[in-house]
Each structure stands twice: as C-alpha cells, then as structure tokens.
Structure 1
Amino acid sequence: MANQFEIDVRKVREDARAHMAEGPVTQTYEAQKGQVIAVLNDVIATEVVCFLRYSQNAIAATGIDRAQVAAEFTEHAREELQHGLRAAERVSQLGGKPDFDPATLMTRSHTEYVAPEESDLKRMLTENLVAERVVITTYQEIIRWLGDGDPTTRRLMESILEEEEDHADDLLDLLGS
C-alpha cells in the first residue's frame, strides 16, 4: 500500500518528554498560537456581550408573549455564557490568559449590545437575530481560517456555531417569519 500510515513512536515519546511544559500544544501544532488566542479572546468578549444582552432582555421583556420569549432569552443567555467559558478554557489550554476585562468587552465583541428603551419584544427578537447572524458569519470565517492548523479549536468553534445557528432558528420562529 503506497499511502500507509507511518509514525516514529520512539521520536514522538522523546519529544513528549522533552516538551512536557508545553501541555497540549505539541510540535505538530500548525496554527499561529498567539493569533488563535487573540481570536478566542474576541470570541469570549462576543459571547459575554451576548449573555448580557439576552439576560437583560429576559428580565425587561413585557407583553402577552413575555413568558415564552423570556424563557428563550434565558436559555440562550445560559448557552452564550457556556460558549464563552469553553473558549476561555481553550485559551488557557493554549497557554494564554482568558480576557474577561469589562473595560474592553464591547470593543472586542463582534456583536453590539442593544437593549431597547421600551420593552419591545419584536425589537429584542430582531436585534438578537441580527447578533446571531453576525456571530454565525464571523465564526464560519474563524473555522475556515483555522483549517487544519488547530483541529481542537476548529471543532470547538464548529460546536458553538451549531448552537448559534439553533439560536437564530429559534428567534426566527418566535418572530413568526
């Protein structure tokens, strides 16, 4: 067989012992680690801003459909927080420092924080759908950019993207579109 899998296990073992302090980042890691950490810190900021927006909307929502919409916002908020924590854990695995600095969250976030003055459910749903669409597009780009250079981060982003697409679908259903 011409395309047979071969690996020098002895060399892999030696390298593993020689570079133990690098944790999960091995010599076969092909991405720009510093750039991946920076991008993931922007993902953290985006997810925290989404968590805050959904949480505020869930509490401020009023009207006849309040219970259903607020429940959806609360569920999405919980999931957005988990996305941010998962991205933060990956930053830590890569040897970086997760950035939760409130002073820079908005400048690093891909989405905006929109809390309508009035408790307008339709506007809340619309603004959250816009935010989800922004996240979907930017996360697709991150996944393409990562390629095969960091398959673990790529799979993390793919998993988060799948949930973001579910959020957009839920919001579209609530808007009745």
Structure 2
Amino acid sequence: MKKDTRKTSASLNLDIKKIKENARKHVEDGAKTSSYKGNVDEVIALLNASLATEIVCALRYKRHYFTATGIHSNSIASEFNLHAQEELSHADLIAERIVQLGGEPDFSPETLTRRSHADYVPCQALKEMIKENLVAERIAIDTYHALISYIGDSDPTTRVMLEKILAQEEEHADELSDWLKVA
C-alpha cells in the first residue's frame, strides 16, 4: 500500500484564518500579497529598466529588418523582424508584471535609451547589424542572470518570467552567433 505523501495545511503550518484576513484587509493590492518577500519598489525599478531594454532592442531589430541589404539579407532580415516581435512580447510580460506588483510600466520615449541596458546602434552593414544585436543579447543574458540571482526565492513569479525570457534571449544569441559565420 502506498503512503500518502501529500502535505496537509497543518503540516505546512498554514494559518488559513490569517491568510483570509490579510486577503480581505489588503484586497486593493491585487496579486501582491503579504507573502511577497521581495523589495517591491526595487523589483519594479529593475523591471522598468528591463522593459526599456526590451523596447530598445525591438526598435533596433525593426530598423535592421527594414535596412538590411546583401546576399543573405532577406532571410536574416525576416529573423530580425521575428526577434523584434519576441522582444516586444518580453516587454509586454514585464509591463504586466510591473502592474501586478502595483507599479507603473515606464514607456516614456524621452528616457528610454537612458534606462535601457542595451544600446540602440543603427548600423549599415549586415554583419555589423548581427554583431550589435548579438552584443545586446549578451547584455540581456548577463542582466537577466543577475536579476534572477538577485530575486532568488523572494519573488518566484517574477523569477520564472525572467527565466523564460532569458531562455529566449539565449536562443537569439545562438542564432546571431551562427549568422555571423555566414554574413
């Protein structure tokens, strides 16, 4: 006979009465409950910098999509466009999380490039476009690694979101690295 390994609320030390009280008391806080362990203001600020980075990367990819020329430009340009769309989907996820945490996503064009971790480098030659996009992806990878490490277990929802974005940024970097060899 198998032993039941499911934990009961008693073995988890859940105080359901207290959880219900807190849920009603701070109902305006939405998804951010009393169990949230992160520094919400810092996390929102960090996420807003990541939001700016994703938007700048999307804009750079879009410019490269429209201006790429050369023998391999059609296939690579279409990938630039796909990467731009993926960067915008990252921005959407980040903006949504900022709102869930009670913050406001900063889409201000006036300060976008100052807040971004990556640079907006327009480039003319296809090989330079690939290099600059690869540099930006490598910056994003290192930044997301640092954010994930900083957040740790204090905000599992944000950490998981960032891990998914990181995985896609690593895919982008791998593709760009391969394209450098053929451009």
Letter in 1 for 2:22: D
Task: Give the whole-Å Cα distance in 1 for the aligned partners of 2:18 and 2:95.
Answer: 32
Alpha-carbon shift at residue 10 of structure 1 (Å): 1.8
Task: Give the whole-Å Cα distance in 1 for the aligned partners of 2:34 and 2:19.
Answer: 10
Alpha-carbon shift at residue 5 of structure 1 (Å): 2.2
Match for residue 157 of structure 2 among 144, 152, 157: 152
Map of 1:40 onto structure 2 = 47
**Percent identity between the two aligned chains:** 49
Letter in 1 for 2:91: G
Map of 1:166 onto structure 2 = 171
Structure 2 counterparts to residues 72-83 of structure 1, below 5 A:
72-83=79-90
Alpha-carbon shift at residue 30 of structure 1 (Å): 0.7
Runs of 4+ in 1 over 6 A off after TM superposition: none
Match for residue 107 of structure 1 among 97, 114, 120: 114
TM-score by length of 2: 0.92
Alpha-carbon shift at residue 176 of structure 1 (Å): 1.9
Alpha-carbon shift at residue 11 of structure 1 (Å): 1.6
Map of 1:142 onto structure 2 = 147
Cα deviation digits, residues 89-125 of structure 1 (max 9, x gap): 1111111110000010010000000111x3x111100
**Structural RMSD (CA):** 1.3
Cα deviation digits, residues 25-76 of structure 1 (max 9, x gap): 1111111100111011001100000000000000000011011110110000
Task: Give the whole-Å Cα distance in 1 for the aligned partners of 2:107 and 2:90.
Answer: 13
Alpha-carbon shift at residue 143 of structure 1 (Å): 0.3
Gaps in structure 1 of 5+ consecutive residues: none
Map of 1:62 onto structure 2 = 69
Letter in 2 for 1:95: G
Alpha-carbon shift at residue 6 of structure 1 (Å): 2.3
Letter in 2 for 1:20: V
Map of 2:93 onto structure 1 = 86
Alpha-carbon shift at residue 157 of structure 1 (Å): 0.6
Letter in 1 for 2:69: T
Alpha-carbon shift at residue 8 of structure 1 (Å): 1.4
Alpha-carbon shift at residue 19 of structure 1 (Å): 1.3
Alpha-carbon shift at residue 17 of structure 1 (Å): 1.3
Letter in 2 for 1:123: E
